[in-house]
Amino acid sequence: MNISTLKVTDSRANQIDANNIQFGRTYSDHMLIADYEDGHWKQPQIVPYGDISMSPATSFIHYGQSIFEGIKAYKNAQGNISIFRPKDNWERFNVSAERMAMPHVPEDIFIDGMKHLITLDKDWVPTSDGCSLYIRPFMFATDEFIGVKPAEKFRFMIITSPAGAYYSKPTRIYVQKQYIRAFPGGIGFTKAAGNYGACMLPSLQTKQMGYDQILWVDGLEHKYVQEIGTMNVFFKLGDKVITPDLEAGTILAGVTRASVMELLRDKGITVEERPLSIDEIVAAHEKGELREAFGTGTAAVIAPIAELNYEGNMIHLPAEETWEVSSWLKKELADIRYGRKVDTKNWMYKIC
Amino acid sequence: MNISTLKVTDSRANQIDANNIQFGRTYSDHMLIADYEDGHWKQPQIVPYGDISMSPATSFIHYGQSIFEGIKAYKNAQGNISIFRPKDNWERFNVSAERMAMPHVPEDIFIDGMKHLITLDKDWVPTSDGCSLYIRPFMFATDEFIGVKPAEKFRFMIITSPAGAYYSKPTRIYVQKQYIRAFPGGIGFTKAAGNYGACMLPSLQTKQMGYDQILWVDGLEHKYVQEIGTMNVFFKLGDKVITPDLEAGTILAGVTRASVMELLRDKGITVEERPLSIDEIVAAHEKGELREAFGTGTAAVIAPIAELNYEGNMIHLPAEETWEVSSWLKKELADIRYGRKVDTKNWMYKIC
């Protein structure tokens, strides 16, 4: 893939304060742009990060044909940069694209484009433990037309932003039954922009009640757990770790979720992917078998849960000292990502 | 409301071919922009229609906090311009805004801004019968931030586009059960961008099967009719006209829908707003009581239905000669809009 590249004259990378990285507030020197028109992708370009110009009639502004991914690049102690499982995100991106009637983005634009971009902006990948370069590939419809119809022109872009070490104390979770995130026959399994906008009000109301995140339940019976906030969710009941299955198409197939399941199974822990009801969690709690619960996602990686508010009943999870899997998973993933452990699974995609 | 205005030096209005107006392909000379920041709206501006510039990290691109409205302005035989029920759209816009965690747009920006804009672009309102100026107010989140959180900055805009007479032959409808448009607890009652993007693939597949529009059913029982494509839907069973009620929050509260119900009731026709199942429609058809069916919306106004494909069973609706309400409604609404009939309901908002 031939990528035309216009470099910045002066890099801003030396302006990053390594001790105070604010995620999503600073963007690296360059960005990638590829346009789709007349049924094919044009040559991608890497240009200095900056504003883009568009018609106010651009169709995605009005009709939301817009999808994204979130991926992280890590620098190891030797200074080598690798990306965590980018091909899994590329495949999921195209699953989203298909559901949203958007074109597939080929590997040589998504993966090779990302490789070129990160190589060029390698000084933007932070070195401290827990830090990374967050990579945001996204695509939106660019027809200048406000009739409601599937678009024919699209733009794919990649921007990147350095991310500091993510730590938050164990989260306080509110079980949401009034609002529903996704339903069978909808787009819950995709990373479409519309899924996120619909959650802003429920999330705001939850924070106003003093909780950090929502535990979403299914829309049909209002009892099966789905995701927490924008993360997949795992519960350890007795010796088993359980996470909701993806059958209904209402849950995102998280790359961290898949990695966590694989690591746990390798360690000999039973992992069940199946419908999990709030009632089952409450019953396990009453028997003293609710051992641990945590969210998984690219941003937080592993986010342990401190408590659940289920219709006014408070379920307090055991304290950190007793955690058997979440702390281990966090360390295991970090060791693989920062090259402290051999990457036997080929999860790390080497850049430079 | 003080609106700063920067006029074009040369209007493009004389370039419109009145006999060949292509909706949504040409936009009037000016557009309105108002920005929201630090908890309040800044002074709106009217400027020449043109591209807008934004950061690729603008939050609505990624997370879909974006809503819109569709309204029409009409020119009567005396050359006076009026807008059809804009305050109803303004109220609905703010209902959408609330659900999407966006600020209310005050009347003096939405309504007065629209009035200023249309007055300035009055030469863009077509004169021929059936023609109108389509008005598109919209708002999107403008925070330059890719963390998932409700935005704090927003932009409200209005653009307009001349619309020709809309005629299509009676539509062929496919009853969709695989995909679901909206769900209780979701955002189906809003004009959020995400609702439309999610329907592009089902709509494309329906067209590939040779049908014009989808008849959506509810997501819980897959049997109650909801909307057709992007229109509300009415069925005339015997002497009654029935349209789905809005209780579940899955259906848009159409302004044309409300107008149609009022006109029919004034004429002494029984209108029922209630759950309506496909089974009831099939049963009425079998008894010879399915008299008429049509969609209502700002674009098509009244769109009669020719046939329904329900799981392979074809339901053919009676032919145009027998229609008792849809043709009458179309004429009645046109007479009010073009000033051929006294506007006893004060639906027409005079501009100039």
- pLDDT at residue B278, rounded to an integer: 97
- pLDDT at residue A264, rounded to an integer: 98
Bridge partners (DSSP) of residue A132 are A163
Q: At what angle do helices A86-99 and A107-120 cross, to 10 degrees?
A: 130
Q: Looking at the complex, report in whole angstroms how far the Cα of residue A194 sits from the nearest Cα belonging to chain B.
A: 4
Mutation target to probe the A interface, by most A beta carbons within 10 A, among B45, B51, B96 is B51
Count Cβ atoms below 10 Å from residue B266 Cβ, excluding itself: 11
Cβ contacts of B140 on chain A, cutoff 8 Å: 61
Identify whether the C-beta of residue A213 lies closer than 8 Å to the C-beta of residue A206. yes
What whole-number distance in Å separates Cα of residue A217 and Cα of residue A297?
18
Q: Looking at the complex, report in whole angstroms how far the Cα of residue A322 sits from the nearest Cα belonging to chain B.
A: 31
Q: Do B198 and A64 touch (CB under 8 A)?
A: yes
For chain A, the average pLDDT equals 96
**Percent residues over pLDDT 90 in chain B:** 91
Q: Do A183 and B183 touch (CB under 8 A)?
A: yes
Residue B58: what residue type?
T
What whole-number distance in Å separates Cα of residue A155 and Cα of residue A254?
24
Q: Mean pLDDT across the stretch B141-158?
A: 96
For chain B, the average pLDDT equals 96
Q: Looking at the complex, report in whole angstroms how far the Cα of residue B107 sits from the nearest Cα belonging to chain A.
A: 21
Nearest CB to A184: which of B145, B184, B219? B219
With CA atoms as reference, report the closest residue to A65 among A159, A198, A154: A154
On the question of pLDDT at B163 being above 80, the answer is yes
On the question of pLDDT at B24 being above 90, the answer is no
Contacts of A256 (CB under 8 A, 6+ apart): A232, A296, A297, A298, A301, A302, A333
Q: Is the dihedral angle over the CA atoms B252, B258, B259, B264 positive or is it negative?
A: positive
Chain A residue with CA closest to B200: the answer is: A150
Is residue B328 within 8 angstroms of chain A, CB to CB? no
- pLDDT at residue B166, rounded to an integer: 75
- pLDDT at residue B325, rounded to an integer: 96
B233 sits in which H/E element:
strand B231-237
Q: Looking at the complex, report in whole angstroms how far the Cα of residue A240 sits from the nearest Cα belonging to chain B.
A: 31
- pLDDT at residue B253, rounded to an integer: 98
Q: Which of residues 217-256 of B touch A (CB under 8 A)?
A: 219-220, 229-230
- pLDDT at residue A260, rounded to an integer: 98
Burial category of B328 from C-beta neighbours within 10 Å (exposed 0-12, middle 13-18, buried 19 and up): middle
What whole-number distance in Å separates Cα of residue B138 and Cα of residue B135?
10
- pLDDT at residue A28, rounded to an integer: 97
Whole-prediction pTM: 0.97
On the question of pLDDT at B258 being above 80, the answer is yes
Chain B residue with CA closest to A138: the answer is: B62
Q: Do A197 and B66 touch (CB under 8 A)?
A: yes
Q: Do B60 and A193 touch (CB under 8 A)?
A: yes
Identify whether the C-beta of residue B246 lies closer than 8 Å to the C-beta of residue B189. yes
Mutation target to probe the A interface, by most A beta carbons within 10 A, among B32, B54, B62 is B62
B284-326 pLDDT tens trace: 999 999 999 999 999 889 999 999 999 999 999 998 888 989 9
What whole-number distance in Å separates Cα of residue B133 and Cα of residue B38?
34
Q: How far is CA B331 from CA B74, B260, B337, in A?
A: 15, 12, 10
Is residue B183 within 8 angstroms of chain A, CB to CB? yes
- pLDDT at residue A243, rounded to an integer: 98
Cβ contacts of B145 on chain A, cutoff 8 Å: 24-25
Q: Which domains does chain B have, with CATH numbers?
A: 4-165 (3.30.470.10), 171-337 (3.20.10.10)
Ranges of chain A whose pLDDT falls below 70: none
Q: Mean pLDDT across the stretch B61-73?
A: 98
Size of interface A-B (CB pairs under 8 A): 207
B86-112 pLDDT tens trace: 999 999 999 999 999 999 999 999 999
Identify whether the C-beta of residue B147 lies closer than 8 Å to the C-beta of residue A23. yes
Q: Do A198 and B194 touch (CB under 8 A)?
A: yes
Nearest CB to A66: which of B23, B61, B146? B61
Is residue A31 within 8 angstroms of chain B, CB to CB? yes
Q: Do A192 and B187 touch (CB under 8 A)?
A: no
Chain A residue with CA closest to B55: the answer is: A51
Q: Do B64 and A31 touch (CB under 8 A)?
A: no
Count Cβ atoms below 10 Å from residue A205 Cβ, excluding itself: 16
Residue A151: what residue type?
A
Q: Do A196 and B31 touch (CB under 8 A)?
A: no
- pLDDT at residue A21, rounded to an integer: 87
Q: Give alpha helix (H) positions in chain A.
A: 59-63, 86-99, 107-120, 193-197, 200-208, 255-266, 278-286, 326-337
Chain B residue with CA closest to A25: the answer is: B145
Q: Which of residues 100-119 of B touch A (CB under 8 A)?
A: 100-101
A162-200 pLDDT tens trace: 999 877 789 999 999 999 999 999 999 999 999 999 999
Q: Do B147 and A24 touch (CB under 8 A)?
A: yes
Cβ contacts of A159 on chain B, cutoff 8 Å: 56-57, 146
Chain B residue with CA closest to A50: the answer is: B55
B170-186 pLDDT tens trace: 999 999 999 999 999 99
What whole-number distance in Å separates Cα of residue A200 and Cα of residue A268?
39
- pLDDT at residue A224, rounded to an integer: 98
Q: Do A53 and B56 touch (CB under 8 A)?
A: no
Q: Looking at the complex, report in whole angstroms how far the Cα of residue B32 sits from the nearest Cα belonging to chain A.
A: 11
- pLDDT at residue A239, rounded to an integer: 96
Total count of residues recorded for chain A: 352
- pLDDT at residue B168, rounded to an integer: 73
Phi, psi of B175, deg, nearest 5: -80, 115
- pLDDT at residue A292, rounded to an integer: 97
Q: Looking at the complex, report in whole angstroms how far the Cα of residue B165 sits from the nearest Cα belonging to chain A.
A: 15
